[in-house]
Chain A
């Protein structure tokens, strides 16, 4: 093979390495927290550190592994009264992490979810309110199963599955680490 041929073959993987991944960031955690709790006069950011026992308890309650040892949380208050928490989480998508936020009431009920970053090929519908509203009101007693109580999105089944499992895991986290 001549030099031009070698350069072409070497250039392809280099092109892959240097090509920038396209990120789609839709909202910051602070914006999500304000959206979830518009009546709040205080949003207190916390970095929740989870012990091994707590992570094991979260898995036992939700059936989903708690990968991270820390979790970013915003505590929403109004007049000194706890309104709930905004928990920011990353789950695995097909290519990259999907970042989302879930609002959870003091009683352990989902108040809403927002997709903060989504970078996958298919499944942009995951950001639509019509899909996200299926989580509202859910507790740990719900199945959190695709095509049972959460609809699947074609071409983005893994993303839907991991967000669905993730929200259930955050409910378990709320019970283990945030309940008074």
Chain B
């Protein structure tokens, strides 16, 4: 199997820069104990936090497909209950030997490019430590200029809303979270010249509507170290095809947190999926058009008070 060298290598200077920032930080970050599901806590007033996410998506059951998403997020605590954040998203994709009518028009191979930007707010209604049960809402506005699946040009405007629940057990040694959310997207593909004959590539604006459910539990087995299991279900409906896809991803995380910084490494294979399938798909119990067989995510955070 061919491996993507350039996108990963291109991230190394970012990692080095982040490690340098850790050394300069005067205080440490809050904790993302999970790679995908979110907790209900917000930053204290005046706190600033910088995150770097790297997500590696790989495998579509045929041909060769790898994508690397790099997301840099800055979060600020406006009040003890309200935090705001801004995100910059980049992606690289290497796909070869796989053509899916309507979705993947052909080979693509590029390094990190600007994929989009996102702004979000998180408001905390109930604190998991003070009120026994934590509840927050998360709302984000997203602009995307590249399709994260095909890598082709695609303008998207999305609004996402989530409810985030969190509960502490064993005096905080065990943390449980649950998320429910929905995202509405207006999407317009750019035309592609020289498509294969008969290839369906609609450029009419579409509305995509995604629902998601997620849950996870994280256990601190020794000071500073947590292990977690998380699972999430996603389904998407769109204008032309109705329910286009659904998928369930689940897997473990390991998290390390100190006063100065934290990091979380997560692996989530797709364990079930359905909806549309491409011609000749052999793994028929997965959705592999817009999702991959595996995702790996590394998150790193540092806090500047």
Contact = CB atoms under 8 A, between A and B. Distances in A.
Nearest to B43: A155
Given A95-B224, A97-B223, A158 B259 contact: no
Contacts of B305: 122
Contacts of B128: 157-158
Contacts, number: 97
Contact of A146 (B8, B47, B130, B258): B130
A155 B29 CA distance: 11
A152 B170 CA distance: 20
B217 interface: no
Contacts of A95: 31, 223-224, 257-259
Interface in A75-129: 91-97, 119-122
B45 interface: yes
A96 B223 CA distance: 5
**Which bracket fits the contact residues of B?**
35 or more
A3 B12 CA distance: 13
Contact of B129 (A1, A17, A122, A157): A157
A21 B130 contact: no
B80 to A, nearest CB: 4
Contacts of B263: 12-13, 16
Interface of B: 3-5, 8-9, 12, 15, 19, 27-31, 41, 43-45, 47, 80, 127-130, 168, 170-173, 220, 223-224, 256-260, 263, 265, 298, 303, 305
Given A95-B259, A122-B44, A122-B47, 12 more contacts: A1-B9, A5-B9, A5-B12, A9-B8, A17-B256, A19-B258, A92-B173, A94-B172, A95-B257, A121-B259, A152-B130, A154-B80
20 contacts: A1-B9, A8-B15, A12-B263, A15-B19, A22-B259, A65-B170, A92-B171, A92-B173, A96-B223, A121-B28, A121-B29, A122-B30, A146-B129, A146-B130, A154-B44, A155-B44, A155-B47, A157-B129, A158-B128, A158-B172
